[in-house]
Structure 1
Amino acid sequence: MHTNPADLTPVTVADVLELPELAAGQPELAAGAAGLQRRLRWAHVVAGAAAIGLLDGGELILTTGAGWPTAQGALERLATELAGVDPAAVVLELGAHFETAPEPLVRVCGERAIPLIVLHREVRFVQITQRIHQRVLAAQNEALSARTEIHEMLTELGLNRSPVDYVIDRLSETLDAPVVLEDPSGRVVAWAARDRDPESVLAAWTQPGEPALPADAERVVVEAQGRRWGTLSALGGPAHPAGRRTVLELGALALALGRLADTSGEAWLRLSSKQLFDTLLSGRYRRDAELAVQLAAAGLPVTDRVLVGATLRGTGDFGAHGPLERALLETALRRAVAPEGRVILVPDTEAADGGARATLLALLSFPRGDPRVAPSAGDSPTPLVTRLARELDMLLPSTTPASWRAHLGLGADGTGVRSLITSLERVRAAGQLRPSAAAGRVTAQVAERQALAYLVRGFAGSPELQEYATATLGPLVAHDAASGPGHSGDLLRVLRAYLDQPTNRSLAAERARLSRSVFYQRLALIEELLDVDLADGTTIATLAVALLALG
């Protein structure tokens, strides 16, 4: 990491003007007022024109003009040469050699924003250089100490494989400024800011392309071993003893170390998704616009888009370990919505199986008019279901058992953040329902075709509804749980098959995988246990709601 000596020195020309030793000379700013915040690395007393060539740049030049030419052309050349070494500022003591500041020097310093300070009274240059050198060295020592401290802290975070969001929090705290980490595609992975709204911090990342940041922002690349993994940005904030850019570069190094340790390469992607879902489902935002900005910055556009909440899970024996099943489901869904659509995915750790199986939550965003979210007639699969089936067919290993299926749950589509939240909450609460469509290895439940199921499942957690389901179906549950002659354990399954086809008992028997005679016997036993008539419409509705509530 290259270090400019001036970067270690927060001493500016404006600071020098406040020194008592310089104030004794009655200083006057003759030119270059725009450069008063220039930082200086040293102070030199310069006599004669030849010494100019020995300067490195960034120095405060102290001179009486001794040995300078007086002819106009020669002064022009001297002024140009002096400005060419880019000093921090020029201090010219008047009286001994010049009564006023030479016009060529005033003009060139003004053009280059190099402060030209003239002194109207004699001062001791040695006192000024000593004071400046003391302050410069003290500032450099402070900067080096601060840099060492920051380096140790961030290196330790990297070696400890600290979570990315924790590293970003520490960087933001250290710089007292908003810090944003984005991946190579420009999607925000993590961000942190004290008392700042997401709308003000992330606005630049909601548009495609390079974010348009303020002039005082710093951006550094996160890379290691020749690979670029993202960009780290710090928005405006106070100066730091170690240098804001230096702190950011050390933070990028810590993130790169963590990225190298991530063998899966998915930690950043999962972090971004998890934070968004946590925010969305927990309601930890004040305005819909605030959440919309975070979604857009993470790569899920909201404005003028059709939004859908969804679930995706594997069912049946996959025949391989869970991570592969999940990876295949994620990849297939991403490819199914690309390129016009966008998706954010996260494992549902609160699913009924505790996250042991590949159960995913998804937020989908499509352009208006996209055929993949257009309704389809009857039981035919939607274009999205068909596309997902095709992508899975290309990805699945040939050893995948024939019984395995991917089950896609699609909530109601809508526009705006509020409809997206509702769509996700309802499809998540519904869990896995009987499919309303299928294509290839994909079965699907579609909210608009299963309105009653989604309504009942949305209230399934209420004690009243659970009491209703238990009271209605209790005898069947108890009978299925018992053992011995006459207790087949399949009455609930038979009832579901019948309620799917109440007007076609032969088809219901076929779907229950029972002969018609055995199926009819089971139905008669159900009517006896529940004391109901299964041909009655009210009874059918009552039992259907109870089954949905029972899950």
Structure 2
Amino acid sequence: MGERANLTAEPSRPRLRAVRDVPADTAELGGLSTFTIEDFLAMPVTQQGAPVVVAGKQHLDRRVRWLHVIELVDTQGLLQGGELILATGIAFPQAPEEIAQYVDALADQGIAGLAIELGRRFATVPPAMVRACNRRHVPLIAFHREVPFVKMTEAAHSIILMGQRRLLQVTAAAHERFTELTSAEAPMEDLVTAAAELAGGQVVFANLMHQVLALHEPDGETEQLLNRWNRKAFTLTKAFGTQVDKADHTVVTPVEVRGRQRGRLVLFSTGPPDRAQVTVIERAAVALGMLLLLQDDDVVVANAHRTVLESIISGRSGGVEAMHARAAALGRPTRGRYYLPVVVVSAGRDLRWVVNRALDETRLDGLAAQVGPDRWGALLLLKTEQFEQAVSAFAACVLELCRGVGIDRPVVARGGLVSALADVRHSVAEAVDVALASRVAGSPRNRKDVYAIEDVKLRGLLYTLRNDSRLQAFVERMLGPLLHRDTLDGGGDWVRTLGVYLRFQGNKSLTAQELGVSRPTLYERLGRIQRLLRVDLDDPEWSTSLYAAIMVVEATAADSPALPQKRRESL
């Protein structure tokens, strides 16, 4: 992180932060100031003196802490570093070697630059002074017209003080914001968003493989930002500390964890970055480092995949082209692919690692994320329309991984194959409905590795209509007395008994075996059910109606816990 120096500090020591194109022995001597020699030259009062830069032109971006008018040759102990020296040269030495010694003494004290007024002592700038300033990387300015130095210092100091005030305000705001986010264990996306808002620009966080893990663009121009990032990524080299590129309007700072670099945080500004923006980005990098302290690289990338998939499902990422660009920047190109959503449902177990590992072991391109409570999704990115082999291999791998660690067999379901990224959200919704409806699809002996919409038949239709008040009223009419009896018995078995009996199409032997009761007990239960419902179970229409109502009850049970309403609407 960049250091803050007060106005009376000793000349700055070498910083951890490297400033682009500024030699290490003179970098960062401007302290809190964001005022540069370039800014000084642009002031109207400075222009009145007809200034000409005669040396050190490549260092005009150096920050100026203060303007100091001094004619003394011996300045030892009078300067603190970062000053722009104003002089008429009236007391300057004449000999070239003495002029060189004078410049060396100023450079050793860390001045920002030297400006002399011609006419009183020198008609032209001494060549020895030009050579010495170039050798010591000191900007040298010559005024060809007389201008009161007091007006220059008043104008410059006013700007410097206002800049210092803004920097202190931004620094305090950044400290407060990132401390609050870190304490709340905010996700990576929130930290990057805060950095962009505080710095007033676009921000990208990428790992060392140039995969974009998080980004924020205030104007929603994701594609343009990622194009800019791709151009910048090719120019990045391993460097120590923060790199400020005023020509490219960027700030690049490393994100480190325990001395090991884990990525880079990049600010894209609308103009040359100032000190306040650099401070914000460096503070954000520290917050990201704290977040990554307990996360390995695989978890970080998996979280980025989740963010991209959630954006695709919700459709709130700035359009199709923006989604393509975001996925490509993460190393998962989606353009020109076919998309097949797969949903895995398992109650009470975190299957995130299972889904990600299944993608790796089957060598399938895809994005994975949790799509609801107890539900994990994978979006397979296929190059052809032939998906059967790919989805079968993925489902088999998921089931095998679960079996290997003692996790109950999950339900795996797929949506329809789509060729447009905008249609993925509808296919994901279909896969979720199929998965939840298939959780009660029948006997374990008839389970499939992967379910599709055609496998759930009437059960799938009833599941999609489960929240319809007319269907709920139908269930109440058909099964009301049995549901009431189960409630009175504290979790009775009446509805389940009827459901198993109807599923086995009236076969009493198989029903008794499935329920684990004797046949006489089953006969007694069935007789009581018929009396409670006042129906004839041998009547085909009654049997069909009752079984449909039971499938609705089972679908409702499978839907608990349900997707939050907002998430369901987004799907």
TM-score interval, smaller chain: 0.5 to 0.7
Equivalent residue number for residue 18 of structure 2: none
Q: Which AA in structure 1 matches 2:341?
A: G
User: 1:336 Cα deviation (Å)?
Assistant: 0.9
Aligned with 1:405: secondary structure?
coil
Aligned partners of 2:516 and 2:119: how far apart in 1?
115
1:366-417 CA distance string (max 9 Å, x none): 442599x4349xxxx92112222333344x15xx6xxx31221222233331
Aligned partners of 1:189 and 1:360: how far apart in 2?
23
Equivalent residue number for residue 256 of structure 2: 223
Shift of the 263–421 alpha-carbon distance from structure 1 to 2, 3 Å rule, reads closer
Equivalent residue number for residue 305 of structure 1: 337
Equivalent residue number for residue 15 of structure 1: 39
User: 1:25 Cα deviation (Å)?
Assistant: 3.5
Shift of the 202–209 alpha-carbon distance from structure 1 to 2, 3 Å rule, reads closer
After the TM superposition, which residues 368-517 of structure 1 pair with which residues of structure 2 at under 5 Å, given as runs? 368=383, 373-375=387-389, 382-394=392-404, 396-397=405-406, 404-430=408-434, 431-433=436-438, 444-447=449-452, 450=455, 452=457, 456=461, 459-461=464-466, 463=468, 466=471, 470=475, 475=478, 489-498=496-505
Aligned with 1:382: secondary structure?
helix
Aligned with 1:384: secondary structure?
helix
User: 1:345 Cα deviation (Å)?
Assistant: 1.6
User: 1:424 Cα deviation (Å)?
Assistant: 0.7
Equivalent residue number for residue 280 of structure 2: 247
Aligned partners of 1:76 and 1:343: how far apart in 2?
67
1:113-142 CA distance string (max 9 Å, x none): 976533223455577567656754664465
User: 1:150 Cα deviation (Å)?
Assistant: 3.2
Q: Which AA in structure 2 matches 1:374?
A: E
2:255–2:264 Cα contact (<8 Å) kept: yes
Shift of the 112–215 alpha-carbon distance from structure 1 to 2, 3 Å rule, reads farther
Aligned partners of 1:77 and 1:69: how far apart in 2?
9
**Equivalent residue for 1:330, pick from 346, 352, 360:** 352
Shift of the 543–60 alpha-carbon distance from structure 1 to 2, 3 Å rule, reads same
Equivalent residue number for residue 531 of structure 1: 539
1:94–1:100 Cα contact (<8 Å) kept: yes
1:406–1:443 Cα contact (<8 Å) kept: no
User: 1:15 Cα deviation (Å)?
Assistant: 3.2
TM-score, normalization by structure 1: 0.68
Aligned with 2:465: secondary structure?
coil
1:217–1:235 Cα contact (<8 Å) kept: yes
Equivalent residue number for residue 361 of structure 1: 376
Shift of the 482–284 alpha-carbon distance from structure 1 to 2, 3 Å rule, reads same
User: 1:460 Cα deviation (Å)?
Assistant: 1.9
**Equivalent residue for 2:123, pick from 99, 102, 117:** 99
Name stretches of at least 5 consecutive residues in structure 1 with no aligned partner: 316-321, 350-358, 500-504
User: 1:362 Cα deviation (Å)?
Assistant: 1.0
Shift of the 165–488 alpha-carbon distance from structure 1 to 2, 3 Å rule, reads closer
1:429-481 CA distance string (max 9 Å, x none): 231416999999x953332652746962674246387269649xx54675576
2:438–2:451 Cα contact (<8 Å) kept: no
Aligned with 2:178: secondary structure?
helix
Equivalent residue number for residue 319 of structure 1: none
Q: Which AA in structure 2 matches 1:172?
A: A
Shift of the 205–211 alpha-carbon distance from structure 1 to 2, 3 Å rule, reads farther
2:430–2:453 Cα contact (<8 Å) kept: no
Q: Which AA in structure 1 matches 2:115?
A: V
Aligned partners of 1:415 and 1:511: how far apart in 2?
47
1:193-231 CA distance string (max 9 Å, x none): 433333333456789977989932223233343455544
27-36 or 10-19: bigger deviation: 27-36
1:38-93 CA distance string (max 9 Å, x none): 432344668799989x99986534455643557xxx89989997999897554343
Equivalent residue number for residue 290 of structure 1: 322
Shift of the 412–250 alpha-carbon distance from structure 1 to 2, 3 Å rule, reads same
Aligned partners of 2:256 and 2:444: how far apart in 1?
43
Aligned with 1:6: secondary structure?
coil
2:210–2:233 Cα contact (<8 Å) kept: yes
Shift of the 238–455 alpha-carbon distance from structure 1 to 2, 3 Å rule, reads farther
User: 1:312 Cα deviation (Å)?
Assistant: 1.6
1:40–1:59 Cα contact (<8 Å) kept: yes
Aligned partners of 2:550 and 2:536: how far apart in 1?
18
Aligned length: 502
User: 1:337 Cα deviation (Å)?
Assistant: 0.7
2:36–2:63 Cα contact (<8 Å) kept: yes
Name stretches of at least 5 consecutive residues in structure 2 with no aligned partner: 4-27, 237-244, 556-571
Shift of the 369–114 alpha-carbon distance from structure 1 to 2, 3 Å rule, reads farther
Matched, 1:236 2:269: yes
Shift of the 427–250 alpha-carbon distance from structure 1 to 2, 3 Å rule, reads same
Aligned partners of 2:139 and 2:233: how far apart in 1?
38
Aligned partners of 1:78 and 1:370: how far apart in 2?
77
Aligned with 1:445: secondary structure?
coil
User: 1:421 Cα deviation (Å)?
Assistant: 1.5
Aligned partners of 1:445 and 1:308: how far apart in 2?
13
Q: Which AA in structure 2 matches 1:341?
A: D
Aligned partners of 2:67 and 2:199: how far apart in 1?
29
Aligned partners of 1:437 and 1:111: how far apart in 2?
85
TM-score, normalization by structure 2: 0.66
Equivalent residue number for residue 8 of structure 2: none
Q: Which AA in structure 1 matches 2:258?
A: Q
Aligned partners of 1:19 and 1:419: how far apart in 2?
57
Q: What RMSD in Å do the two structures reach over aligned CA positions? A: 5.6
1:79–1:108 Cα contact (<8 Å) kept: no
Shift of the 176–2 alpha-carbon distance from structure 1 to 2, 3 Å rule, reads closer
User: 1:425 Cα deviation (Å)?
Assistant: 0.7
2:395–2:450 Cα contact (<8 Å) kept: no
Aligned partners of 2:377 and 2:232: how far apart in 1?
22
User: 1:545 Cα deviation (Å)?
Assistant: 7.5
Aligned partners of 1:313 and 1:509: how far apart in 2?
28
Matched, 1:175 2:199: yes
Equivalent residue number for residue 93 of structure 2: 67
Shift of the 479–64 alpha-carbon distance from structure 1 to 2, 3 Å rule, reads closer
